[in-house]
Structure 1
Amino acid sequence: MAFLKIDNLRKSFGKVDVLKGIDLEIEEGGFLVLVGPSGCGKSTLLNTIAGLEPITSGSISINGKVVNDLHPSQRDIAMVFQSYALYPNMTVAENIGFGMEIRGVPKAERDAAIAKVAETLQIGALLNRKPSQLSGGQRQRVAMGRALVRDPMVFLFDEPLSNLDAKLRVDMRTEIKRLHQRMGTTIVYVTHDQIEAMTLATKIAVLKDGVLQQFGTPAEIYNTPNNLFVADFMGSPSMNLIPAKVKASGGDVAIMMERDEGEPLALPFAGANGALAGRDGQDVVFGIRPEALTDPDSADRNARHVSELDCDIEVIEPAGSDTFAVTRLGGREIVARLRADAPISAGQTARLAFNLDKALLFDPETEARIV
């Protein structure tokens, strides 16, 4: 049974539809990440779960109970905001315990809860400091501590790491993951950062313009995106999406892509399971992730279908553990991920291996995945 269930949820501001029939379910102890570009409705969806925004229609259930009409204080949720929202005149301990004090929790019980949370978040040495004396990462830990001390049924995080620098974001991401594994509480987390979504989530909901584009595990979202938007949005670097045509001859199917010079490239496309029947000569979009396009020595030895092609390398981007090579196919720049010491340089022709087991095809009109 779903612990948090969102059923056909719609939210409008006047005549503007912000959320358009959202259906989501997450099990108890799950980590649901709402991801999408700015303005897609993810923070509005989080606010409706919190009760900070009334919904237009649909329902929200927590632990089997419909909470549409419940005040935020009655929903047994705790929220961590992007801005930390700490009281500047209070110490860390006072900030963490303020909610309990308002509810009349005895001081001894408050102090014990504060100490436990401080130990969990490793901020025991900061309890007597004011927020102005803390770093960004420390302030975020305090904001998390204020939520944790509530011991709610659901935690809500609204882009909690967006104000941190790149290294601290990675560190805090690990801390949040560790915290979830230790506590096992249900979390709904909003971010526009798809790397955060992939690393933290047990389930991801990808939103665009208030419409749920795909809901699934990180592996499902990454490996079998429903459409071109999800394919392009999830992944860094993003999936290579190349205009192509289907060429079917007998039982064989190939994908044809134009090159700036020379004959078009033909890649055999096995395992379509009849999905391309009747599409001979039709336009498609060929999708392949950078890691499935690499130097032959780095190609997956377990792959069943690998094709090699000589490509003109335009740009080389060393990235420490990897090297990214930029070439062109179908009039588009495409990125290959090579091993760090791959002997390739800009301006030369290099042989690249296409792992076609990982390739996908999309319909350019509907943008839906074909296979």
Structure 2
Amino acid sequence: MAFLEITGLRKRFGSLEILKGIDLELEKGGFLVLVGPSGCGKSTLLNTIAGLETISEGDIRVDGRAIGDLHPSKRDIAMVFQSYALYPNMTVAGNISFGMEMRGVPVAERKTAIDKVAKVLQITHLLDRKPSQLSGGQRQRVAMGRALVRDPKLFLFDEPLSNLDAKLRVDMRIEIKRLHAATGTSIVYVTHDQIEAMTLATKIAVMRDGEVQQFGTPAEIYNNPTNLFVADFMGSPAMNLLTATIEGTGNDLHVSLARPDAEPLRLPAAQVQSLAPYAGKQVIFGIRPEALTDPDGADRNARQLVEGDCLIDVVEPAGSDTFAVTKLGGKEVVARLRADVRIVPGQNARLAFNLDKAVYFDPQSERRIA
């Protein structure tokens, strides 16, 4: 049985429905990330789990116990907010122990808990400081310590890194991942940053307009997106999504991609059975930048590796990689090449397409077809 179970969850504000039948589950010790654009309902969903918002329909269960009607204080859940919500007049130790003090936990027990959590978070040297004397990353650790010291059944994180600069976000992401591995806690984490989602999660729920578009492991979400929204939202750089025509009949199908000032590029179509109904019609052809590269850098274990000439518009050296921009199917396409590859804007270059990684979508329904 799943540790966290959300079934048929709906949330309405008057006639406006924010959550539209959410079904999710998380194993004990798992890390569930709710990801999606602003306004998709992910924070509202987190707040219903915490008890900060009532639910209109459905059920939430934690460790087999229904919590949908329980007061937040009775749910055994700890939440880390985006704003940290630290008491400015208290020391770090005071902030961490405040909840225990309110519950009447003895002083000696409180000190033991503070020392243990401070050691895990590497903030022992900060215990006598006030929040105003801390950096953003240190404040975030204190907020996490205040949650950890309670030893709850479930931790909720509401965009905890969004107020930090880019480098500190990377550092704190590593800290959160290390903390999860060390403590084995169950976590639900909200973010709009798909890199955070991919690196932290054991399971990801991609949300849009109050609905879960896809739920699965990071690898499933990245490699097998169920629709155009998930394919476009997850990944940096984003997946190339191109208008293509399926040509041929029977088992001899090809994907035709328009090229400027040249004949269309024709690639053999994989998943022929699924694409057969689209012969003579347009589809959306999806391929990620790392599956479109220079021939010497291509995956030699690929079953279907096809090369084609493309006119290069822009070259972007990025240290460990080189990104090249070309045009196919009427859109700009990003290819991810080796760092030392020799490629010149304005000239044709040979690119290798790893068609094992290609996906296809219906232009009208936007659902995956192959």
TM-score interval w.r.t. the shorter chain? over 0.9
Q: 1:7-59 CA deviation, whole Å, 9 max, x = no partner? A: 01000111111100000000100000000000000000000000000011001
Matched, 1:82 2:82: yes
- Structure 2 distance, partners of 1:228, 1:109, is 53
2:310 aligns with 311
Q: 1:210-253 CA deviation, whole Å, 9 max, x = no partner? A: 01100000000000000000000000000000001111333111
Q: 1:130-177 CA deviation, whole Å, 9 max, x = no partner? A: 000000000000000000000000000000000011111011000100
SS at match of 1:291: helix
2:38 aligns with 38
1:58-207 equivalence runs, <5 A: 58-207=58-207
Quick one: which amino acid aligns to residue 278 of structure 2? R
1:1-371 equivalence runs, <5 A: 1-270=1-270, 272=271, 274-371=273-370
8 Å CA contact 2:222–2:231 kept in 1: the answer is yes
Query: How far 1:273 moved relative to its partner?
Result: 5.3
Quick one: which amino acid aligns to residue 50 of structure 1? A
SS at match of 1:314: strand
- Structure 2 distance, partners of 1:345, 1:181, is 45
Quick one: which amino acid aligns to residue 151 of structure 2? D
TM-score normalized by structure 1?
0.99
Aligned sequence identity (%)? 73
CA RMSD of aligned residues (A): 0.7
SS at match of 1:350: strand
8 Å CA contact 2:248–2:254 kept in 1: the answer is yes
Quick one: which amino acid aligns to residue 199 of structure 1? T
Quick one: which amino acid aligns to residue 92 of structure 1? V
- Structure 2 distance, partners of 1:141, 1:239, is 34
SS at match of 2:112: helix
- Structure 2 distance, partners of 1:244, 1:142, is 52
8 Å CA contact 2:214–2:221 kept in 1: the answer is yes
Structure 1 stretches lacking a partner, 5+ long:
none
SS at match of 2:182: helix
SS at match of 1:118: helix
- Structure 2 distance, partners of 1:248, 1:183, is 56
- Structure 2 distance, partners of 1:279, 1:88, is 63
Query: How far 1:274 moved relative to its partner?
Result: 1.2
SS at match of 2:198: helix
Q: 1:271-314 CA deviation, whole Å, 9 max, x = no partner? A: x1511122211110000000000000000000011111111111
TM-score normalized by structure 2?
0.99
- Structure 1 distance, partners of 2:29, 2:365, is 36
- Structure 2 distance, partners of 1:183, 1:126, is 21
- Structure 2 distance, partners of 1:229, 1:290, is 17
8 Å CA contact 2:247–2:255 kept in 1: the answer is yes
Structure 2 stretches lacking a partner, 5+ long:
none
Quick one: which amino acid aligns to residue 288 of structure 1? I
- Structure 2 distance, partners of 1:27, 1:55, is 22
Stretches of 4+ aligned residues off by more than 2 angstroms: none
- Structure 1 distance, partners of 2:33, 2:94, is 30
8 Å CA contact 2:322–2:339 kept in 1: the answer is yes
8 Å CA contact 2:322–2:336 kept in 1: the answer is yes
- Structure 2 distance, partners of 1:273, 1:204, is 30
Quick one: which amino acid aligns to residue 307 of structure 2? E
- Structure 2 distance, partners of 1:343, 1:220, is 34
SS at match of 1:264: strand
SS at match of 1:277: helix
SS at match of 2:262: coil
Query: How far 1:105 moved relative to its partner?
Result: 0.2
